[in-house]
Amino acid sequence: MKRILVVEDELSISNLITYNLEQSGYQVTTAYDGAEALRLVEELCPHLITLDLLLPLQSGWQVLDAIRRHPRKQVATVPIVVLSALSCARLRGELQQHGVSHCLGKPFSVTELSLLVNSLLDEQRDQTWSSPL
């Protein structure tokens, strides 16, 4: 079962994301601040992360930097979908420099998020299957 870490400090949004991803068959864990997110990344080694940028304790930017600098490749290269109230168009360049190619603005479509997550995890599975031993 694929593990997804939802990093979102707004309870109603995290509950909405968690419910919908669990309905799609994923194992979902939620972090409500940046410090908890980094602890859970280390503990769970998730297959995908959804990340809000505006978080208490440590910002989403700090979380993103820590993940991308992680010594374990599996952690450092995990797909991250940024969910932000900030303009994704304005953030695009900075996010790409941090290895993030997907950003959904709030409010976002749960269907769009689910399709994106499914696509990224399918892509990840295809790369695993096609990589040499």
Residues 72-116 have pLDDT tens digits of 999 999 999 999 888 888 888 899 888 897 999 999 999 999 999
- Predicted confidence (pLDDT) at residue 132 exceeds the cutoff of 90: no
H-state helical runs in the chain: 11-23, 34-44, 60-68, 73-76, 88-97, 110-130
- State the average pLDDT over residues 65-75: 93
